[in-house]
Structure 1
Amino acid sequence: MDTIALGPLVLSGERFAILAGVFFFLTGTGLLASRVGPRFNLWSTVVVFGGLAAARLAHVIVHWSHFREEPLRALAVWQGGFSWFWALPVVAISLIFLLRTSRERVWAIAPLAAAVLAWTAAHHLTSALEPLPPPPLTLAGLDGSPVDLAATDGRPTIINLWATWCAPCRREMPALAQAERAHPEVRFLLINQGEDEAKVRDYLEREALAFDHMLLDPGMATQRHYRAVGIPVTLFLHADGRLARAHTGEIAPERIAAEIARLTPRP
């Protein structure tokens, strides 16, 4: 799984890579500020916050159809979603206007290179995903019918591991329900981890949520099979059941749509 556990903190591979890059960049610019010139303090702040803001804004603009009804979701950066190419103008402009000498600009290459190398290494190390087969499990659905997770029906499958006590799980449920309605070519399996039928049924009725396949996994065997650390986890499976991608943490609607597009390429 693309997950890093730092004590009680669980990070997706994408978030860990971002933090690694920022850490090495700030460490390098801190050294330059003390040894080359204090202007590196302001420059590093502008690059980090300005670059993140530009990358997030570009992502929101590109995926505006998913943000139109919830514009404040643009602030939900914990969902992920950054167009990093658009951070480059921030870096270039700040180099010109905040670092005044050629010597400072040459030195600035070092922390930028360190950040890129750290981000790339962390991303590759954490994004490596074993194409696991579906688990040999049969789980009971809320409607009473058993579902064999190892059996496929010719469609790609999205598995979401969740629980009613998990706030990120609750926030992403409407997006998953909407995606299921919009994409009948994909099978959705919502698998509750560790809770009883009454609690799950009560939550779904209270929130007016409905899914074709709401399954119960009281022993959390699905989570162990996919080696998931924490929930929510959204798993994207090929039509033959092999794991294609995994997303740890709250998932955004545009990420769901992008992964469905990858699983169901148009001719």
Structure 2
Amino acid sequence: MELLRLVVDEVWGGDVAHILGDELTMRRWAWRLVPPAVALVVGLGASGCSIGADAADDAADDSADGRWAVRSADDQDLTPPGERKPSPVMTGQTLTGENLELSSLRGRIVVVNFWASWCPPCQAETPALVMLAGRYPQVAFVGVNEKESATVAQGFVRHNEVAYPNIIDRDGTLAARWPGVPGLPTTFVLDARGRIATRVVGGVTAESLGGLLDRLAVER
């Protein structure tokens, strides 16, 4: 946070940093105020955005004690079916006011994407998610907005023409139940039995996620 404030101070002056104030607002505006090369040095545009130390610590504790054995899809691997763990129970109200229970999607492959509107990698991957949701109607896509208001999330969804349901995780409790959400975006792919087949930390692409969905569909 201090490094980010120093960069904004240097590029745009102390008045801007003073007006922006808190970290969340600084992050939301830094990409509009700071030249791209400088922003990369700060690290805002890396593979993911921080969602807070508590969630990261919880995820690390879960992995360390063996409660969750989830393979990251950095190398596009799927966890072997016999090693997959069931997804957590997740229920929430969508942005359209409906209740969504993850268990109701059992029988379908499910993509669960944790995101926030201020996160640049989340912004970058959204068109691919929207395209894939249209290309794979048999796959259920669910977005989980982290720690933002419904108004902010609705604006992002509307601007990006996101048709699949999104729920609000206002205090981060939903993310804390999942195995390893160290930052945003983080995407989980569930098999038709509701088990976690893989996890992608950082932004997805149409090619990478589409390949995973194709391979998972062959299992059924």
Same fold flag (TM > 0.5)? yes
Q: Corresponding residue for 2:196?
A: 243
Give the conservation status (yes or no) of the 8 Å contact 1:135–1:150. Answer: no
Distance 2:102 2:87 in 1: 6
**Same amino acid, percent of matched pairs:** 26
Residue type of the alignment partner of 1:133:
P
CA-CA distance at 1:193 after TM superposition: 1.0
Higher relative contact order (CA 8 A, sep 6+): 2
Distance 2:190 2:167 in 1: 17
Given the alignment of the two structures, is residue 217 of structure 1 paired with residue 169 of structure 2, yes or no? yes
Unaligned runs of at least 5 residues, structure 1: 1-76, 80-122
CA-CA distance at 1:78 after TM superposition: 6.2
Higher helix share: 1
Distance 1:246 1:192 in 2: 17
Q: Corresponding residue for 1:226?
A: 178
Cα 1:244–1:199 shift into 2, 3 Å: same
Q: Corresponding residue for 1:176?
A: 129
Cα 1:170–1:153 shift into 2, 3 Å: same
Distance 1:174 1:135 in 2: 27
Distance 1:261 1:128 in 2: 15
What is the SS of the residue equivalent to 1:264? helix
Give the conservation status (yes or no) of the 8 Å contact 2:186–2:201. Answer: yes
Distance 1:149 1:141 in 2: 12
Which ranges of 4 or more aligned residues in structure 1 deviate by more than 4 Å? 127-130
CA-CA distance at 1:222 after TM superposition: 2.9
Match of 1:201 among 154, 172, 190: 154
Q: Superposed, which structure 2 residues align to 1:121-140 within 5 Å?
A: 131-140=84-93
Residue type of the alignment partner of 1:202:
G
CA-CA distance at 1:211 after TM superposition: 2.1
Residue type of the alignment partner of 1:155:
R
Give the conservation status (yes or no) of the 8 Å contact 2:79–2:198. Answer: no
Give the conservation status (yes or no) of the 8 Å contact 1:152–1:240. Answer: no
CA-CA distance at 1:195 after TM superposition: 1.0
CA-CA distance at 1:223 after TM superposition: 1.8
Given the alignment of the two structures, is residue 142 of structure 1 paired with residue 101 of structure 2, yes or no? no
Q: Corresponding residue for 2:57?
A: none
- TM-score normalized by structure 2? 0.60
Q: Superposed, which structure 2 residues align to 1:62-73 within 5 Å?
A: none
Larger Rg: 1
Unaligned runs of at least 5 residues, structure 2: 1-45, 49-73
Q: Corresponding residue for 1:192?
A: 145
Give the conservation status (yes or no) of the 8 Å contact 1:233–1:248. Answer: yes
Give the conservation status (yes or no) of the 8 Å contact 1:190–1:211. Answer: no
Give the conservation status (yes or no) of the 8 Å contact 2:79–2:197. Answer: no
Give the conservation status (yes or no) of the 8 Å contact 1:195–1:216. Answer: yes
Cα 1:199–1:159 shift into 2, 3 Å: same
